[in-house]
Structure formats: structure tokens, C-alpha cells
Structure 1
């Protein structure tokens, strides 16, 4: 897993929530060491499966800058039993193929138990819920399966007469959402824009699966924090607490598509760079922002804009692709100037699920090492490019985490 970027705080970090109800096995008589639970749709005998699962939202395929088609989504697990449940391995299957196969240390970065306490690997306490973040990939749109299955191998401390010590469960069969990712222009112009916390690793954005209005939602599933590197690969030069040290501060932010403005906030103050703001209310996390209805149940969100830069934007105003929405700023939940951008399936920037988007065109210039982004954010050092990245022109694709791209214009 890539190191988490420190220069730009996600809108919200993952919230730790409570657990599901617990149900106890009746005794501790030993049974066979391993048992396999058949899928719920098969015509086999009923098997007790203490860990149950559901998908937060069905995945929508999107083409990434790596040329692969990504299915990024989250699986919610609940341990309904009275014993701790260790997820020993996890597979995603589709059309007879195994798309994801994780176990041991490889699984740990993609798993988070909810409800607080120390992180002890992929373990669910009795009655606890957890999340598995999934990035399944295929080589082309023609290879996207119609549905996905999930296979968990779960270990328990003791076998009982109802549940063995190791159980393989088939859970949460789900159809792939066959909608296409929305095609848009870029919200920024010009060279060296770094995708600081984008898809599809478990960045601060993807980790922000939040309990909003009584349900778990992932509005920031595909969100990107954009900062612009200078010619030497630096985010800022000089005093990191001064907005003037960030040369891209004030860059024009563009409408990504034709559509109507449905929400505007423009009077929140800038935060001081280099520190996380405190005391924000939930509506203030996006800072000064614009929400635009871009059609077909999709809404574009432009966040952390400069105060006063959206004074000419009003609710009900129709924007054309390329129109200026505002200026890149540092308002709301942010520790350095950046543009937070995402597309969602509802008008509220938190009470929605994030949906994928593909930019018309961009140049992939590099992909940078995550630890170098940390030093760039804290000490003003240049970023370091990862070797072996296949750079070049991209059309109809989404930048991935730690990509450096050049957008048309500017």
C-alpha cells in the first residue's frame, strides 16, 4: 500500500462506528477442522456462517491511467458470533476467474475493523463490523464480469458443534453496475498536477466510509486532491505556513461538464497551511465549494476554494464545460492549498456515494514514490519519480494515486 499523503487532509477520515449484535454458538464440542459454506443461492444444506457481508455500493468499472479497468468498492463484514473471527484469506471471483486473492500481511492494509481499539490484523471481535477495500482489475471493458463473488476463509479460536475452527464462506454475491464512468474535462489546466490521494489504494479518501443519515456511504471513493509541482518537483518553496509559498495557489478551477449549480459556499476563511484545522462543523469540511448537477444522477464537487472566488456563481446558474468555477484555495478541512474534486450520485457532498469519472485527455508525466510526497509536504523536498511508469497520452481514463499529469490548457 502506498504511504498516505500528508500535504492534503481528506475531507473526513474514516469514522469508527459501533458493532452489530452478537449471537452465540451453543457449546464447545469439537467438530471437523474445516468446513465450506455453500453460496446462499445453491441447493445445499444450511450451514451456520458467523461472518456475514454486504457491499456498500455495487462497483462501476472505470479505466485507470495504468490501462486497466478498475472495480473499486467496499465489502462490509459483520461478525455475528461470540468468538473473535480472523479473516485468514479473501478472494474476489468473477466469470470463473479469481480477480483478487489476499491473505496474511497482504490482506491487512485492505482491512479495517470498526469500533476503535488497537489494530491487530484482519480480526473482528464478537459483534464487530469491519471493511475490506477492494480494487479488482481486468485488462479491458470486455473482460468485466457481470457479477462478483467473495470467498472468506475465517478462523475461530475454538471449534463448536455448529462452527468449525476454520470455515470458508461464500458471501455477498453482487452484480456489477453496468453504467459507464462519466466522461468529463479536467477541473484544472496545465502541467505537473499531482493526484495526492486518489483511487484505488486505501488513501484517506477511500478510507472515509462514513455513517451518514443512518447508512454507510463512501462519497470520496474516487476523490482526488490536486496540488501542482514546480519545475523542480516541489509543492512549496519557503515558509510552508504562508499561502504565497504555494505557486499554484489561486489557480482557476474549471467546470468539468455542462450543468446547473445546485450549491455554493464562498464565505469561509482560509486555513493556515501546515496544520490541521480544528473545531469545524460537518458542513464546513468542504470549505468554500460548488456542487454542480452534470446530469444522469451525477454531481461534481469542487472544494477548498478561495474565499470570495465564487461570488459570481449562484444556485441555478448554468455552467458550460471550461467555465471558471472559482480559484484553488485552502478553506475547510485542509492543511495545504489544493483542489479536492469528486463526482457523486447525490447532491450532498457527504450524503452520497462516489462514482468514477474519466477525463477526456491528459498526459501521464510520472508516478511518484509515496514517501517522497511526505517529505515534499513537510520539508519542501522534491518528489521522487517511481521508475518504470509507462508515461504518455491518456484518453478516457482516470488518474490514479500519486500520478503526475498535465492537463490541456493553461
Structure 2
């Protein structure tokens, strides 16, 4: 399925003596007449002026979105860099909204929510000298809870070699102040029809999609932050039967894909061959990962991306053609970076499927049939065809203007 690895790299180490070791000298620093600067983030000027061995910034300001769990989600990523010439272990990350505690990732939580670039030890929470990484955040609010206008991040960390007063034994820093976007998530129609559609790998755990924060053209982009890989199970909960390496064993292969909104085509690719299910493709160029696909401008700086389309079904369109909400535009296929037939769908802030940030979206009306209990359930579903047990106690519900969550099983109108 369409996924990306977190770009590996290293943050640059800082200059000035506090970053070169345990020395406490401040030679070369200036405190007279200087005004604190924010590097383009005005609200950061309100933070205390202090030496921060771990620096941070958010990749993109979060946009609040209601989801099928009844909660409001603020979904974003925090980039951290250790500017010291020594190891520093991250111990916790807390999010405060307008001064209120909203989320805390303690030491035991962090391995599931962070990645250190270039780390050779899986699950490490230690940044080497000059090393950087990302922490993925999902702040949830009750539906009647006030959405904060501003978020701050309080981190605690332990340096290998403390050096008072600049580098204490336990670092506590408030960093990466950011505004919360006031934008409303776009409401769209489902891109598919009928029952049994499984949301694979979307918001809000650290799935392959959320983890695909890639370094493109010298910047970080999280194009797949809210991306869904759609597969369909039948009335018995089966994904496929017969020969798992044949696309014909997947009953939903070739099903219709529909425009989620009105708007013109801004990019279209067709003619790439179907891949063999169960086999991870190799040798693909970066631009080929989406396989046959359509990008549609749905207005207000938002673009819909429909990927892995069946060969020969997207080519009926050309750039500039107007699509109408609810009209069939292609068929579900298995082209590009995919190991089973599925539709990859997301909304983004740029017409480039990779050099973009993923934006939240809500579907106008649909039903949640159930939910799989964990990502581990999807492995047997793909490998054996299913059925696999669903999470107990999930009542069928009608959803309106809500974002699907990973592992939801849904019925969409029509079909």
C-alpha cells in the first residue's frame, strides 16, 4: 500500500559554546540591547528567554476536525533537534492549549509516537549530538470543549553530561508555540459506494501514512497525514478468496471511484500496469508511487488525490476537465506502490501529491458498521483473506460531517 518512510537525516548542531560540550561559558553571546526573535513566529516571542538545548517547531499548524469517535482531533507533528554535542534522552512531551494541559506523552508512550532520524536502535528516545527527529501528536477534545487558539509544548529531557546552570540534570523547556488553524475541514462525498469499506492506515495512530513525513525539495511535508487506504470486505468479512496473487481474487477490484466534490482535473496519469498482489513493488520512481491517479482542484486551496487507479480508467480525463461531485471518474486498481488492490485517497494543500501537507476532511453522511481492534488485524486480513474478528461493543452508527478513523468499517450511500 502507498506508504513512505520518515526521511532520515540529522539536524545540524548549533554554534556557540553551550552546544559544544559541558562548558558553561557564554562567550560570544550578547544580552545587551538585543530583542528576542521568533524566526517568523510572532507568538514565540511570548515564551521565556532561555537557552533550549532541544529546539522545536511544528511541521504545520493543526486544523481541528471531528471524527467518528465523537471527539475533536488536533493532528500534527513536532520536529525536535538536539543542538548539544552529547546525547540527550527525551523523557516526556506535554501539550498545553491556552494554558490548559491537553496531552502528555510520558517516557513509556514516546517510543510509539516518535522517531529519531538515522537511529539504528528501534524505539529509541535518545537524540545523538546534532540529531533530529519527529514526535507525532493527536490532541483530542470533547465535542463541547473550547478549541484552543494556541498550543505550547513542554518537554523534559536528560542530558548525558549536565553542566549547571545552562545544562541542568533535567531539562524542562517550553518550545514550539503555534497557533491553531481556524479553518474548517472541507466536507466531501465518499469516493466509493456500498458496504464493507475498511479505512486502512489513516488518522490518528502512527500508521505508515502518518509516518510518511518526507523530506521533499529541502522541506518536510506530511502529505498522507489523513490519507485512507480503502479495501472492501464482503458480507462474511472476507477480503479475497482464491489465488491471492491475482487481482481477480479481490471482488472489489475494478469497482467505481467517484468524485468527492466539484472541480477541475489538474493532473492525471494513466497507463501504468497493475502490480501483482502480495508483492511489494521495486524500482519505482518517486513520481510513480501513486500509480495511475487523478488530482482534482476542489477549491479554497484544497486538492483531492485518487491513487492506484485501474489501468485505462483514468485516461478518459485531461487537465482542465470539470468533474462533478458523485460522478464516476475511474475504477479501483492496483498500480504504483501497492501490494493489494485499494484506493488511496487524501486531501492536500497543493496539487503535488508528495510536496504537500495533508488536510483534514469530513464525509457528509455514512454509516460505521464496526471497527477492527488493531493494526495487527489487518495483517491476517491481507494474508489469509479473512474474516478476522472485529472490535466488540461497536454499535452501528450514522455519521454526519465526520472524519473516518483508521480501522473503521463503513457503508457509503449507493452501490
Q: What residue number does 2:400 align with?
A: 395
Unaligned 5+ segments in structure 1 are 1-8, 31-38
1:2-48 per-residue CA deviation (whole Å, 9 max, x = no partner) reads xxxxxxx2242322223322455366479xxxxxxxx964585x432
Quick check: 161-170 or 219-228, which moved more?
A: 161-170
Q: What residue number does 2:378 align with?
A: 373
Compared CA separation, residues 391 and 168, structure 1 to 2 (3 A)? farther
RCO (CA 8 Å, sep 6+): is it higher in 1 or 2? 1
Unaligned 5+ segments in structure 2 are 25-42
1:5-404 paired onto structure 2 within 5 Å: 9-23=1-15, 25=18, 28=22, 41-42=45-46, 46-140=49-143, 143-161=146-164, 162-369=166-373, 370-404=375-409
Compared CA separation, residues 316 and 124, structure 1 to 2 (3 A)? same
Quick check: 298-307 or 373-382, which moved more?
A: 373-382
Alignment root-mean-square deviation, CA: 1.6
Q: What residue number does 1:409 align with?
A: 414
Residue 254 of structure 1 deviates from its aligned partner by 0.2
Is the CA contact 2:112–2:123 (under 8 Å) kept in the aligned structure 1?
A: no
Compared CA separation, residues 120 and 322, structure 1 to 2 (3 A)? closer
1:231-276 per-residue CA deviation (whole Å, 9 max, x = no partner) reads 1111111111000110000010000000000100011000000010
Is the CA contact 1:11–1:286 (under 8 Å) kept in the aligned structure 2?
A: no
Counterparts of 1:139 and 1:43 in 2: how far apart (Å)? 28
Quick check: 16-25 or 65-74, which moved more?
A: 16-25
Equivalent position SS for 1:108: helix
Is the CA contact 1:14–1:204 (under 8 Å) kept in the aligned structure 2?
A: no
1:270-315 per-residue CA deviation (whole Å, 9 max, x = no partner) reads 0000010000001100000000000000000000000101122111
1:317-363 per-residue CA deviation (whole Å, 9 max, x = no partner) reads 00110111100000000000000000000010001100000000110
Is the CA contact 2:275–2:281 (under 8 Å) kept in the aligned structure 1?
A: yes
Counterparts of 1:116 and 1:342 in 2: how far apart (Å)? 29
Compared CA separation, residues 163 and 233, structure 1 to 2 (3 A)? same
Equivalent position SS for 1:305: coil
Aligned length: 393
Is the CA contact 2:199–2:404 (under 8 Å) kept in the aligned structure 1?
A: yes
Compared CA separation, residues 120 and 363, structure 1 to 2 (3 A)? closer
Compared CA separation, residues 334 and 312, structure 1 to 2 (3 A)? same
Counterparts of 1:43 and 1:343 in 2: how far apart (Å)? 33
Counterparts of 1:254 and 1:43 in 2: how far apart (Å)? 47
Counterparts of 2:77 and 2:205 in 1: how far apart (Å)? 12
Q: What residue number does 1:4 align with?
A: none
Is the CA contact 2:210–2:226 (under 8 Å) kept in the aligned structure 1?
A: yes
Counterparts of 1:19 and 1:43 in 2: how far apart (Å)? 23
Counterparts of 2:148 and 2:383 in 1: how far apart (Å)? 43
Compared CA separation, residues 408 and 40, structure 1 to 2 (3 A)? closer
Is the CA contact 1:94–1:149 (under 8 Å) kept in the aligned structure 2?
A: yes
Q: What residue number does 1:5 align with?
A: none
1:163-206 per-residue CA deviation (whole Å, 9 max, x = no partner) reads 11111000011000100000000000000100011101100000
Is the CA contact 1:197–1:224 (under 8 Å) kept in the aligned structure 2?
A: yes
Runs of 4+ in structure 1 deviating by more than 3 angstroms, as ranges, are: 22-30, 39-44
Counterparts of 1:40 and 1:400 in 2: how far apart (Å)? 32
So what's the TM-score if we normalise by structure 2?
Answer: 0.91
Residue 120 of structure 1 deviates from its aligned partner by 4.6
Compared CA separation, residues 293 and 28, structure 1 to 2 (3 A)? closer
So what's the TM-score if we normalise by structure 1?
Answer: 0.93
Quick check: 385-394 or 262-271, which moved more?
A: 385-394
